[in-house]
Amino acid sequence: MLSAMTIPKVDAHLAKLKTRRKLWLDVHLYLGLIAGAVLAVVGLTGSIAVFFVELQEVLNPELAVVSTPPEHRQKQHSLDDIVAAAESAKPQGSRFVKVFYPRKSDIAYKFVYFVRDKSQANNGDGYYIFVDPYTAKVNGIQLYYPKDRYWGRPLVGFIMQLHWCLLLGENGAIINGILAALSIISMLTGLIVWWPLTGKFKQALTFKRNASAVRFNFDLHKSVGFYLAIVLLPVLFSGVYFNLPEQVNIVVKLFSPTKRPNAFSTIPLDIHSQPPQVGQQAISAQQVEMIVQKRSPAGKLWMLNAPKNKQDVYKVMKNDVDEISRFTGYRDFAVDQYSGEILKVYDRGSGSASDVLLDWQWPLHSGYAFGWTGRMLVFLSGLACPVLYVTGVIRWLQKRNARKKMAAMTGG
């Protein structure tokens, strides 16, 4: 039991904490109002983007889905035959950039082609070409990246661009990254404000029964924020990294060096193919595939990037390489386009502490690090963003109206 002399000290300490809490509440409020509306849009589109690959197949089955032949005839054509099919149907002036391998037996190869001929009026447009692996025939072509515009994109591509840059290009990506950083601060200050000064954690973690609409809104805001913070905070940080990679790299390099050249590639920029001998031609994509499979049969082929020019290398990426990690099981290869020599192998989740941290960002952001459990948690964290914004605005309006009523009653 507290003595009579102790009670005033406790009250004074509690009053000091409440004053400090009011400051954090103001920070949380204004950051939430500034970044919250955008975060609501980004979070909602991010929830949809969790199922990006599946949605493409659902919305465009005539392009992405193929008929699997009977088991005894289930043999795919060679990658060279499949590339040749895509080349025969490519739009004028376009160039093979990359191919995504089928994730299942009934899914087509998906090629990415970009127009790179400046004489073309639509230089810069990007296309998907879908090729059936069992017939080596093109299922169809989809204009996926119309140059300098967003409204002509397929629905999934439109959602992805809205999520990444708010349909404002690179400037939008920068704004989005800054707002994600502000949202992290807002989340942290929200947790500070949530912390029960009286130690009644059970009350702080539950909904009050038979509560009024005002109290229900308050409990919904604090509960969603608390329970999903453990997912939302790393997702927000990875969003900052993907939109502001150079700035994040500056910070992480203060702690340890990193070999990653950027957020989207693990192959150092100074790795190039050796100059070819006279008359030497570049090897085919199928040859590259065979070289990589012979070197490292573990995991599944995921993506192959074609060389951008005569000095560039093939880049081959595999996932589900369990010998690396069941969470970040990605292995990337750089292959000389003339000799076929493997110039670099990068196992994600290895290297310095900074490399490991950055390698984790995509698996965490997408939820793939923890399979369907991770993806569903990221999906829910995205839905939490509009919920937190709407309940936060309602809470702010409720308190503002209450202050106005009090001022009217007191004549203030």
Band of the pLDDT at 13, cuts 50, 70, 90?
low
Domains along the chain?
A: 6-51+166-250+372-410 (no CATH), 63-153 (3.10.450), 264-371 (3.10.450.40)
The yes-or-no verdict on residue 409 having pLDDT over 90 is no
**pTM for this structure?**
0.88
Mean confidence (pLDDT) of the chain? 90
Contact 319, 330 (CB under 8 A): yes
The yes-or-no verdict on residue 12 having pLDDT over 90 is no
Residues near 213 by Cβ (< 8 Å), separated by ≥ 6? none
Higher pLDDT, 47 or 116: 47
Query: Dmax over Cα atoms in the chain, in whole Å?
Result: 96
The yes-or-no verdict on residue 410 having pLDDT over 80 is no
C-alpha–C-alpha distance, residues 151 and 335, integer Å: 37
Burial of 226 (0-12, 13-18, 19+ CB in 10 A): middle
Residue type, 212: S
State residue 362's pLDDT score: 94
Could you tell me how many residues make up the chain? 412
SS (H, E, C) the chain: CCCCCHHHHHHHHHHHHHHHHHHHHHHHHHHHHHHHHHHHHHHHHHHHHCCHHHHHHHHCHHHHECCCCCHHHCCCCCHHHHHHHHHHHCCCCEEEEEEECCCCCCECEEEEEEECCCCCCCCCCEEEEEEECCCCEEEEEEEEECCCCCCCCCHHHHHHHHHHHCCCHHHHHHHHHHHHHHHHHHHHHHHHHHCCCCCCHHHHCCCCCCCCHHHHHHHHHHHHHHHHHHHHHHHHHHHHHHHCHHHHHHHHCCCCCCCCCECCECCCCCCCCCCCCCCCCCCCHHHHHHHHHHHCCCCEEEEEECCCCCCCEEEEEEECCCCCCCCCCCEEEEEECCCCCEEEEEECCCCCHHHHHHHCHHHHHHCHHHHHHHHHHHHHHHHHHHHHHHHHHHHHHHHHHHHHHHHHHHCC
pLDDT digits (tens, 9 = 90+) for 330-341: 999 999 999 999
The yes-or-no verdict on residue 354 having pLDDT over 90 is yes
Tell me the chain's radius of gyration from C-alpha atoms. Answer: 27
Can you state the angle between helices 169-194 and 6-49, rounded to 10 degrees?
150
Can you state the angle between helices 169-194 and 213-243, rounded to 10 degrees?
140
Residue type, 145: Y
C-alpha–C-alpha distance, residues 110 and 343, integer Å: 26
pLDDT digits (tens, 9 = 90+) for 74-130: 789 999 999 999 999 999 889 999 999 999 999 999 999 999 776 665 568 899 999
State residue 204's pLDDT score: 76
Contact 221, 392 (CB under 8 A): yes
Contact 282, 306 (CB under 8 A): no
C-alpha–C-alpha distance, residues 27 and 18, integer Å: 14
pLDDT digits (tens, 9 = 90+) for 121-167: 556 889 999 999 999 999 999 999 988 788 888 999 999 999 999 99
Distances (CA, A) of 60 to 73, 89, 137, 139, 199: 26, 18, 17, 11, 54
State residue 69's pLDDT score: 86
Band of the pLDDT at 14, cuts 50, 70, 90?
low
State residue 120's pLDDT score: 63
